């Protein structure tokens, strides 16, 4: 086995890069980051509400009228 052969674990590298981005953001802040700020740093998208998902799929959204 060639000693110069290197293992490339792309998933591990991606996780390390995300962690580094988070550490940089924390180091640059003078307070605790909010969950929303952490999500932004990590590139997390907000969950899509069920009503929006239904509308996007082309089904009408049913709403109940109270009153």
Is 8 contained in some domain? no
Is 39 contained in some domain? yes
Please state the separation of Cα 58 from the chain's center in Å.
26
Is 53 contained in some domain? yes
Is 4 contained in some domain? no
Per-residue pLDDT of the chain (67 residues; tens, 9 = 90+): 555 556 678 888 889 999 999 999 999 999 999 998 998 898 888 766 666 556 556 555 454 444 4
Is 11 contained in some domain? no
Give the separation between CA 67 and CA 55, rounded to whole angstroms: 24
Total domains, the chain: 1
Is 21 contained in some domain? no
Is 24 contained in some domain? no
For residue 52, the enclosing domain spans 32-62
Is 54 contained in some domain? yes
pLDDT computed for residue 46 by the predictor: 73
């Amino acid at each position: 086995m060639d000693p110069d052969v290197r293992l490339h674990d792309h998933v591990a590298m991606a996780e390390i890069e995300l962690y580094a981005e988070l550490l940089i953001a924390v180091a640059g802040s003078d307070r605790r980051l909010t969950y929303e700020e952490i999500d932004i740093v990590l590139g997390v998208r907000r969950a899509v509400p069920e009503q929006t998902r239904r509308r996007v799929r082309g089904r009408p959204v049913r709403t109940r009228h109270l009153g």
